C-alpha cells in the first residue's frame, strides 16, 4: 500500500512561551500523525519541551539535538541574536497508528512567565522567590504590559537578596519607563510554524537526519524503500525547497515533503540566500 496524505493543518503565529501552540486537528483512527515544528525565540534554544495530543498518544520526538527523532537548533544570532528570530530550532515528531485526535499541543522549553508583585524601577523588577528560581543570569525577558505601552526586551544581570517571599531581579539595559506592578514578564515572545500532516499507509519510521550550521541545509538520509516519504524543514535564510517537494507552508519554502522514489543515499537540499545560519531536520517513513 502506498503512503497517501489524508489531511493537514498549519499553525503560524506568535505566542508567549508559557503556553505554546495548540493546533486543532481531527484525525482518523490508525493513521500516522507527523508534526514538523519550527520555533524562533529571543532565548537560546536547545529543543522543544514536548508534543502531546488530545488522545494521549505517545509521540516520538526529541527535546535536544538528535538524528532520530531529528531535531537541530541554531543560535547564530539572526538580527542580533536577541530578536524574536535570534535563535531557532527545527524538529520532526510523529506517532504511528495513532488513536484519533482533535488537537495537538507543542510545549515551549522556556515556560517562565510571571506578574510583578511590586513596582519595579528602570533597572530592577520584583517577583516571588519561587518565580525567581526559574530565572538565570543572561535570560532575556519582555515586559508585556499593561503598564508598558510597547513590549520591551531586557537581559537579567543579577539578583538581590530575597525578602518576604520576593526577590529583586536586576537587568540591563535600563527601561525607558519603570515596570509597573502587575505587568506580565515573560522569557519573550516566540514565533511558531507547526505543520501537522496525517498519512495513510505508513508502516514504520525509517531514518532521520538533523544538522545546523552556516551555508546550505543538506541532511543526508539512507532510504530503504522506493516508496518512502521524506518530510521535514529547514530555517532561516531558505529560498527554495528540495527538488520535487510539496510545500506545507503556503508561499514559504521552509517546510514540505517529497517521495524521492529511490533507495540508498538521498540528500534533500534547500536553496539559500548565501552563507547564512540554518537548522534542518528531516524524517523518512516507509510503507
pLDDT in tens, 164-197: 998 888 887 655 666 777 777 777 667 889 999 9
pLDDT in tens, 228-286: 999 999 998 888 999 999 999 877 789 999 999 999 999 999 998 888 889 999 999 99
Q: What's the predicted TM-score (pTM) here?
A: 0.85
Q: Which residues pair with 73 in a beta bridge?
A: 89
For residue 94, give every residue at least 6 positions away whose Cβ sits within 8 Å of its Cβ, in sequence order, or none: 32, 33, 34, 35, 59, 60, 61, 69, 205, 283, 285
Band (40; pLDDT cuts 50, 70, 90): confident
Q: Which domains does the chain show, CATH number per domain?
A: 4-110+190-286 (no CATH), 113-186 (2.40.30.290)
Least Cα distance to 154 among 138, 178, 130 occurs for 138
Amino acid at each position: 500500500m502506498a503512503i497517501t496524505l489524508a489531511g493537514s493543518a498549519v499553525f503560524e503565529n506568535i505566542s508567549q512561551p508559557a503556553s505554546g501552540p495548540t493546533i486543532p486537528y481531527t484525525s482518523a483512527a490508525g493513521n500516522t500523525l507527523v508534526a514538523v515544528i519550527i520555533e524562533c525565540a529571543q532565548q537560546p534554544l536547545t529543543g522543544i519541551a514536548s508534543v502531546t495530543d488530545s488522545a494521549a498518544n505517545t509521540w516520538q520526538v526529541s527535546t535536544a539535538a538528535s538524528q532520530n527523532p531529528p531535531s537541530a537548533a541554531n543560535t547564530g544570532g539572526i538580527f542580533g541574536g536577541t530578536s524574536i528570530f535570534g535563535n531557532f530550532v527545527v524538529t520532526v515528531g510523529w506517532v504511528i497508528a495513532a488513536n484519533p485526535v482533535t488537537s495537538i499541543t507543542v510545549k515551549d522549553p522556556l515556560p517562565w512567565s510571571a506578574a510583578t508583585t511590586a513596582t519595579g524601577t528602570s533597572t530592577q523588577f520584583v517577583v516571588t522567590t519561587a518565580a525567581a528560581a526559574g530565572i538565570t543570569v543572561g535570560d532575556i525577558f519582555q515586559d508585556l504590559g499593561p503598564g508598558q505601552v510597547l513590549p520591551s526586551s531586557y537581559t537579567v544581570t543579577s539578583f538581590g537578596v530575597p525578602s518576604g517571599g520576593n526577590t529583586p531581579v536586576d537587568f540591563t539595559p535600563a527601561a525607558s519607563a519603570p515596570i509597573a506592578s502587575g505587568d506580565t514578564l515573560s522569557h519573550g515572545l516566540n514565533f511558531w510554524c507547526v505543520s501537522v500532516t496525517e498519512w495513510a499507509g505508513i508502516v514504520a519510521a525509517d531514518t532521520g537526519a538533523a544538522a545546523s550550521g552556516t551555508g546550505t541545509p543538506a541532511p543526508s538520509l539512507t532510504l530503504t524503500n522506493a516508496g518512502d516519504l521524506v518530510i521535514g524543514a529547514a530555517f532561516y535564510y531558505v529560498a527554495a525547497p528540495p527538488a520535487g517537494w510539496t510545500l506545507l507552508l503556503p508561499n514559504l519554502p521552509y517546510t514540505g515533503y517529497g517521495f524521492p522514489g529511490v533507495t540508498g543515499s538521498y540528500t534533500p537540499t534547500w536553496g539559500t540566500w548565501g552563507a547564512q545560519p540554518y537548522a534542518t531536520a528531516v524524517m523518512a517513513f516507509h510503507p
